[in-house]
Amino acid sequence: MSHQLPDQVRTPHVAFVGRANIDITVRIPQRPVAGRTTFASSPATTTPGGKSLNQALAARQAGVRASLITNVGDDEWGASLSRALTNAAIDMSFLQVVPSAPTGTAIIEITPDGENYIVLAHSTETELASEHVRNALQQLRAPIVVTQLDLQPDAVDAVFRHHHAETLIGNLVPHPSLGLTALAPLDLFVSNEAEAAAILGRHHANPSIAAQELRKLGPRAVVVTAGARGAAYSDADHTALVPASHVKAINTSGAGDAFLGTLAARLAHNVPLPHAVAKGVAAATTFVQVDRR
């Protein structure tokens, strides 16, 4: 017997598999150089973060039921993440609190042009394990699943083996132990230009060409985000660049996650890929104009 509420049955559903962490953000006038101290231009802020958490928040704001499959530590930061997700109405049925483990953190430097530089100190104790992923996906049976491909190989393999999705979306450069074989099972692969270059071994000035090259590695469709230029997509029918509106970026940190969460939500509403990409570009464009201090 199903225990889902009526609104859960009607509302499109997306499950996100990956990390949640705390972001510690500082705004700096310029990046530090060796041996010199750079003073932040404002106090540090501490906010919920992590790619999968950010994507789930964006998808929920775009009108879908968003489930987050992740682990957090049994500490104050883990409790803070749980409160934030509860307040945002994210389904946390498979958010697991790991006893005596620290929650991962990311140090984010924001320069005056809005560019971000991130160092992730992830917690090995809270990395997802295959059993957790398998149980979650088998019970959620979400029609769209978005997974980080840089998770531990057994967790990614569990996604591939046990998802019940009509559309499986992968994000980020695959874990080295998986290599490029991790792209073949995907219905859609989403990366930024730097990630695409890392996978392909070279940078393509035209993101549409990068998307086409990535498709040759096996996924049915590919999207390559290109910052202020928008995002390129390539599937069996079309390859095109969806341009972004010209705006002044205040903070680009998390823009790719806003894009992907919105994209997944639109696909869950059965919007065709080109239109879903356009919605994602619009969401990311709005996102970078917000001062999230």
Query: What is the secondary structure of 108-136 as a DSSP string?
Result: EEE-TTS-EEEEEE--GGGS--HHHHHHH
When pLDDT is averaged across residues 65-92 and rounded to a whole number, the result is 97
Which two three-digit tokens encode residue 96?
Answer: 């697991």
- Predicted local confidence at residue 293, as pLDDT: 66
Which two three-digit tokens encode residue 49?
Answer: 């973060």
Tell me which of 82 and 292 has the higher pLDDT: 82
Share of the chain above pLDDT 70, in %: 97
Whole-number Å distance between alpha carbons of 207 and 283: 19
When pLDDT is averaged across residues 65-71 and rounded to a whole number, the result is 98
For 207, phi then psi, to 5°, come to: -65, -25
Q: Is the pLDDT of residue 191 over 80?
A: yes
> Model confidence at 49, in pLDDT bands (50, 70, 90)?
very high
Contact 210, 232 (CB under 8 A): yes
When pLDDT is averaged across residues 242-263 and rounded to a whole number, the result is 95
When pLDDT is averaged across residues 101-124 and rounded to a whole number, the result is 92
Q: Is the pLDDT of residue 5 over 50?
A: no
CA distance between the termini of the chain: 45
Name the β-bridge partners of 259.
none
When pLDDT is averaged across residues 85-95 and rounded to a whole number, the result is 97
Domain ranges for the chain, please list them: 12-18+50-101+126-287
pTM of this structure: 0.93
Contact 256, 192 (CB under 8 A): yes
Q: Is the pLDDT of residue 8 over 90?
A: no
CATH code of the region 12-18+50-101+126-287: 3.40.1190.20
Q: Which residue, among 148, 115, 98, 140, has the nearest Cα to 27 in the 3D structure? A: 115
Q: Is the pLDDT of residue 291 over 70?
A: yes
Q: What pLDDT digit, counting tens, does each position of 197-251 carry? A: 999 999 999 999 999 999 999 999 999 999 999 999 999 999 999 999 999 999 8
> Model confidence at 9, in pLDDT bands (50, 70, 90)?
low
Strand residues in 142-276 grouped as ranges (E): 144-148, 167-171, 188-192, 221-225, 231-234, 239-242
- Predicted local confidence at residue 96, as pLDDT: 97
Share the mean pLDDT of the chain.
94
When pLDDT is averaged across residues 285-292 and rounded to a whole number, the result is 90
- Predicted local confidence at residue 6, as pLDDT: 45
When pLDDT is averaged across residues 147-157 and rounded to a whole number, the result is 98
Q: Which residue, among 46, 62, 136, has the nearest Cα to 96 in the 3D structure? A: 136
Q: Is the pLDDT of residue 115 over 90?
A: no
